[in-house]
Structure 1
C-alpha cells in the first residue's frame, strides 16, 4: 500500500531515496513535468540525460538543473515526430552513454488539430506512442546494462476517451476528433508498457504507465478557453473529484517518480498507476481507474506488431 497520494510531490516521493549512480533518461525534459522529474531525481543524486527537440531549451534546462542540484546533466536532441531524428539520437546515445537505469517517456502532445509527423503518422499517435516505441527499443542495449532498469510511460486518464483503432490508427479514413485521438495515443502508452513487460521482465527490466493528474503545463498549448472549462467541469461533475483541483507541476511529477523508484513495485510491471498507487481496474468509473482494454495482452501484442510495421523495424527479445 503506497503511503503517498494526490497531494504528494516528487520531492516527497523521493525523500528517502538515494539515486547516486543511477542514470535517468527523460524525454520532453526541458519544461513541465519532464523538467520537474529531472530536477527531483538530480537532487537525489541521479545522473541525467535530458532529451527534446530544441537544443537551446535543452541546454538552458541542463544548466538550471545542474546549478540547482549539482547533478551531472547531459542533453540529447531528439524529435519524436521524426523517425530519422529518433534513429540519429539513438545512435548518438549508444556512442555517448554507458547505461540507462530509468527511461522516462514523458514527452507528448495533446488535443491538437489534425496534423502529421514527418513520416505521415497522425501527430498524437505518432509522437506519443510510435516515437517512444522506436526510441525505447533502440535504447534497449543501454537499459540492458542498467541496474534494475525501469521504463515509465506517461499516459493519462485521457485513455478513458478511446481505445486503439487498429483498422485506422492514423485517421486515414475516419473523421478526426482531437480528444479521441489523444485517448487512443494514451491507451497505446499503457498497452506498450504491457507488451514491454511481457518481453523484458525475465531480463529484470520492468515497465509502467502512469497518469500524472490534471496539470497546467505547455502540454495544453493547443487548448482553448472552452477546452479548459470543459476539463474543469468534467472533474467537478464526478463525485469523487469534488473539491479536487488541478495538480501543481511538483505534484504531477510525483507518480512518475514513484513508479520509477517504489520498492513495492520491484519485480512487478505492466501496471498503470495514478496518485502514486497502482490504479483500480474499472470500465465505468469516470473519476479514475484503468480500462480493461488498456491492459489487454492480446491488444498489446497486436499494437506491438502494428508499431513494428509502421516504424519499419522488428525487435525480438
Structure 2
C-alpha cells in the first residue's frame, strides 16, 4: 500500500535524500521547499521511480504561508503517514521576516509548531503515524526566556542551537498533549552531515562551512535511520535519537515545566498574529 509522507526542507540535503529514498521504494512524497529548480529535479527523478512526488514551493519562514500550505495539504491528503521536518536556513546576521519574527525563530521553530499540530488530524487517520523533527536534540544551550528571538547579541550559531532547544521542548509538549493518540514524536540529530548548507554566511563562516563539507558524511548516510523510524515508530509518545543511538528524554533538557512555559509563549504569539 502506498504511503504518503510530507517533508519540509526537501529541496536540499537530508530532506531531499529522504524524499528520494521514499519515492524510490513506491511511496508518495509531498515535498516542500523554496527552490523551484531543485523541486523540478526531484519531480524528474520521481518520474523514473515506482513512487511519486509533488513539490510545493513555499517560504515557511512566514506563519501565513505555513497555514495556507498546511490547509492545502489537508485538502488534498486527508491522511498522512509521516511528517519529516528539515527546513532551516543559517544566517550570520539577524534578520526579521515580513511578519515581524526573527527568521531563525520563525523557520526553525514556529514552522515546525504549525506543521506538527496542523497535520495532526491527517496523521491520526493512519495506522502508525510519526513526526520526525530533524533538529539536533540534546544540546545544552540555555534558553534565554526574555529573548527567544535573539534581539540581544545575535550570533548565528548560538541562535541555531538555541532554536533547536525550542524544538526539543515542542516535542515534549506535543507528546504531553497528544501522547494518548497514535502519533509518535521523534527528535532526531543527524550528526555532522553534508546537507545543503543553505544560508547567508560571513567570510569566516563560509570558510568553515567549506571545511565541514569536506569532512562531513553525505546526507544519504542518515537516510536509513530516518526511514527506519518512519517504518517502525517507537512505542513511546516522545523519543530522541542521535543517528542510531537513543537519547534519554527524561533529563532537564526536556523539562515539562520549560515546555509548558514555551508553549504558553508560543500560543500567545500565534494568537496575536491571528491563530
Q: So what's the TM-score if we normalise by structure 2? A: 0.88
Contact 1:50–1:75 at 8 Å: present in 2 too?
yes
**What per-residue deviation string (whole Å, max 9, x for no partner) do you get for residues 33-88 of structure 1?**
11100111222222111112334432332222x13422121222322111111111
1:249 and 2:219 matched = yes
Moved more, 52-61 or 75-84: 52-61
1:86 and 2:66 matched = yes
Match of 2:83 in 1: 103
In 2, Cα distance between equivalents of 1:141 and 1:77: 23
Q: 1:186 aligned to 156, 164, 167, which one?
A: 164
**What per-residue deviation string (whole Å, max 9, x for no partner) do you get for residues 292-314 of structure 1?**
44311111122122111222289
Match of 1:17 in 2: none
**What per-residue deviation string (whole Å, max 9, x for no partner) do you get for residues 132-178 of structure 1?**
11122222221121221000111126x63623222111123x21111
> Aligned to 1:253, what secondary structure does the other structure show?
helix
RMSD (Å), alpha carbons: 2.7
Match of 2:116 in 1: 136
1:31 and 2:9 matched = no
Distance verdict in 2 for CA 1:60–1:231, change over 3 Å: closer
Distance verdict in 2 for CA 1:72–1:232, change over 3 Å: closer
Gap runs ≥5 in structure 2: none
In 2, Cα distance between equivalents of 1:200 and 1:56: 37
Q: What is the CA distance between 1:104 and its match in structure 2?
A: 0.4
Q: 2:196 aligned to 211, 218, 231, which one?
A: 218
Q: What is the CA distance between 1:248 and its match in structure 2?
A: 1.1
Contact 1:90–1:138 at 8 Å: present in 2 too?
yes
**What per-residue deviation string (whole Å, max 9, x for no partner) do you get for residues 205-252 of structure 1?**
11011111212222354345644776899x9xxxxxxxxx42111113
Which protein has the bigger strand share? 2
Gap runs ≥5 in structure 1: 1-19, 236-244, 282-289
Q: So what's the TM-score if we normalise by structure 1? A: 0.77
Contact 1:37–1:253 at 8 Å: present in 2 too?
yes
Distance verdict in 2 for CA 1:293–1:55, change over 3 Å: farther
In 1, Cα distance between equivalents of 2:119 and 2:259: 20
Match of 1:6 in 2: none
Match of 2:256 in 1: 297
Match of 1:268 in 2: 236
Q: How do residues 121-200 of structure 1 correspond to structure 2 at under 5 angstroms?
A: 121-156=101-136, 160=139, 162-172=141-151, 174-200=152-178
1:312 and 2:275 matched = no
In 2, Cα distance between equivalents of 1:229 and 1:220: 14
